Each structure stands twice: as structure tokens, then as C-alpha cells.
Structure 1
């Protein structure tokens, strides 16, 4: 099986796992960490073009697990995190990783945030090295081994 096929299958499995845990993923910390992760993956290469922003926004609004939260609230948070990254990527990344780290004490939420990052990263058909690197950093921020997610 080709690497991309394995990744695609893995991303689908992760989305299924997320949906199964939907009722456990309703905290404000999870909401904020998820939007921070989406922004971080979107800007992983140091920039965000408008089409990528739209694609991620569409994925956020259609993600079953994230429908626990009002769409406008998610959009505002995603945009705020993206603005931090576009203003100063390195400084913004530190702040965003701190936001993601807030779910560290809740393993179900921590794993779900990482899985959302992987699903978002692979949504365009390519989970590139810069996206993998920021998701790996997020794993360390929440105290999870990146190898658990094949990173």
C-alpha cells in the first residue's frame, strides 16, 4: 500500500475515533486547543493563502466533533490564532503551543487535538514535512509520544 493511502486510511480512522468521543470533547480548553491546532497546521509553512484558509474553515464547520461549538465562535478563534501566526510566526507559535498544552492533563482531549491536526494537515491530499513538524511539536506540548501517531 502506498504511503499516501496508508495516511489517508489513518486519517479516516482518526476521524472515526474523534466522532466516537464527541460527547467527551465539549470543554473550552478543547475548543481553544483545537482551533489553535488548526491555525498552526494551516500556517505550518510560514504563510496562509486565502484558499487554504477557506478550506480549513470549511473543514472546521463540517467536522462532526467541532459541531459541539458555535461555528462563529470557532471561526473567530481560528482567525485570532492565524493572525498571531501571520503577525510573527515564531512568537505566535509559542503562544499557540501554550494554548494547545492546556489540554495536557486530559488525555482524551490531548489525543483528539493531535488527531484534528493530522486530519487538517492531510485534508489537501498532502501531509507535508512542515505540517508533520508542527503536529510533532504539539505532541510534545501535550505530553504524547509522536510515534503514537506515526510522526
Structure 2
């Protein structure tokens, strides 16, 4: 119970931080990296059930920060990235990480991408080991220390 409360509190803090900087998070590289992290998190356990796709699509469409972008555009980017991972897991993951790395030199966007990944991962009330590993890998791609995000 304590872990869940800490996760929930952390997610609320992250969402508030993102909302404060919302107007600064409008670039195409941020949009693409955000959808790549969402796809990586959704596919973290090796499979993506239709219900999980719908849940993540819903979360993307209703995230206040991501509302800077058209919902249909985000959904399409997310679905395309998931399809690429499903078609060839290793190449799809590598391509997603490469897309994410494009915001490496933009600290605000890089941290926001990690935070979005954590928010998506924890939205179901769990932040399992596979999801944590994916977010740590994203931190490495962005040259960010995982401990900054309690990973």
C-alpha cells in the first residue's frame, strides 16, 4: 500500500510539473518522443492486448500536456510505433529509442518524456519491473540519471 501511495503521489507531482511547463512542450520532436515512450511502456512485457492499447490511447488523448497536439495525430503515431514493435521487436524498440534520443539535448523535453513514460506506466496502479526497466533504458538514451526519477 505504501508503494502505491508513493507512486500515486509521485505521478500527481509529475503531472503538475508537466502542466506548469505545458506551453514549452510543443515541438514535433517532443511529440514523437512522447509517443515512442508510450509505445515502449505499453509493450514492456512483450505483448500489447487490445484493452491496453485502448487504455494508453485514452490516457494520451486525455493528458493535459499532450493536448498541445491533435489527438488523432498522437493516436496514429502511437499505433504506428506499437505496430513497428510488434512486427520486429528489436528493431522497433531500437527505432523508438532513437526517436526518443532526439530530445536528449533539450533537458525540459527529455525530462518530460521520462515523466510521461512513468505516468503512462503507473496509470493502472502498478509500475512493474518490465516498465521500470523500459523507463531506465529511456533515461539512458536521454543521458538522464534514473535515480532522478526514483528508478
> Common fold, TM-score beyond 0.5?
yes
Partner of 1:37: 37
Report the alpha carbon displacement of residue 110 of structure 1 after superposing the two structures with TM: 0.2
Show CA shifts across 1:47-73 (max 9, x none).
Answer: 100000000000000000000001111
Partner of 2:145: 145
Partner of 2:103: 103
Q: How does 1:112-123 map to 2 (within 5 A)?
A: 112-123=112-123
Partner of 1:93: 93
The 3-state SS of whatever aligns with 2:125 is: coil
Q: How does 1:1-151 map to 2 (within 5 A)?
A: 2-151=2-151
The gaps in structure 2 that reach 5 residues or longer are none
Report the alpha carbon displacement of residue 26 of structure 1 after superposing the two structures with TM: 0.2
The gaps in structure 1 that reach 5 residues or longer are none
The 3-state SS of whatever aligns with 1:126 is: coil
Query: 1:88, 1:134 → 2: CA distance?
Result: 17
Query: 2:19, 2:32 → 1: CA distance?
Result: 18
Report the alpha carbon displacement of residue 9 of structure 1 after superposing the two structures with TM: 0.4
Report the alpha carbon displacement of residue 4 of structure 1 after superposing the two structures with TM: 1.3
Query: 2:149, 2:137 → 1: CA distance?
Result: 12
Report the alpha carbon displacement of residue 107 of structure 1 after superposing the two structures with TM: 0.2
Query: 2:137, 2:34 → 1: CA distance?
Result: 14
